[in-house]
Amino acid sequence: MQDGNAEFARYPSLPGRAVLVTGGATGIGESLVAHFARQGARVAFFDIQDEAAHSLVESLNAEGCPAPLYLHCDLTDIAALQRAAGEAIAALGTVDVLVNNAANDQRHTIEEVTPEYWDQSMAINLRPQFFMIQAVLPAMRKAGRGSIINMSSISWMIPSTGVPLYIAAKAAIVGLTRTLAHELGPEGIRVNAVLPGAIVTEKQKRLWYTPEYKAEIMASQALKRDILPGDVARLVLFLAADDSSAITNQSYVIDGGWV
């Protein structure tokens, strides 16, 4: 599998596997969808960014990859999430892999947080991860296997400032991962977390990735290069594939050696 001038692993277990990705239209999610499709997996993804999602589907179709299924879904609406999950499972026939990727790292101060803002932040960054897992469990249990990958962040380990609710949610995801790994392990279902560092997405470049911030990142990272969405996606591919079949209950940091 090629990415620019580099060559990366192809996983024999991934072609034909049914993969569901939340927040798959842009950023890390876009790279996840593309990487799974290029491995020959059958991918369904959720988002609310229709234009970006349709563009991604068209570009992968043009490459000759299995066309991903895009489903518009506001993950803060649990009833809509459950309906979309049911539609994806019906279309794919099952779900072998779930990547809980969707999140919103909107900056906020302690003073501006209201009870309503708290609920909104958790409804985006934490609650959908649990309910997506709940929604795919019947299919995974029927198959007697599954790989669930929850996207956390190093932000709670550094720790970052200026995003206290996002950080609280990302720390909670690690706890959720660990308990569900033990609950679901006897049924052949693996649960792991991935903790990215400062990943250079288009959103980050547009909103926050200033020369000053990049200098701060490079001073903190052991590797003095940008960490890209594809770097994260290739770690997720490994955790989805049978090559990692003995791995569960783990949290994998991918940050260029920041923490």
Q: Which residues are catalytic?
A: 166
Percentages (nearest 5) of helix, strand, coil residues in the chain: 50, 15, 35
| Cα 70 to Cα 47: distance, rounded to the nearest angstrom | 8
Beta bridge partners of 150: 100, 193
> Which of 249, 207, 203 has its CA nearest to residue 31?
203
Report the Cα 38 to chain-centroid distance in Å: 17
CB contact at 8 A, 82 and 131: yes
Cα 223 to Cα 3: distance, rounded to the nearest angstrom:
20
What is the C-alpha to C-alpha distance for residues 255 and 223, in angstroms, rounded to an integer? 9
Look at phi and psi of residue 256 and say left if phi exceeds 0, alpha if psi is from -120 to 50, else beta.
left
Residue 250, classed as helix, strand or coil, is coil
Least Cα distance to 81 among 116, 127, 120 occurs for 127
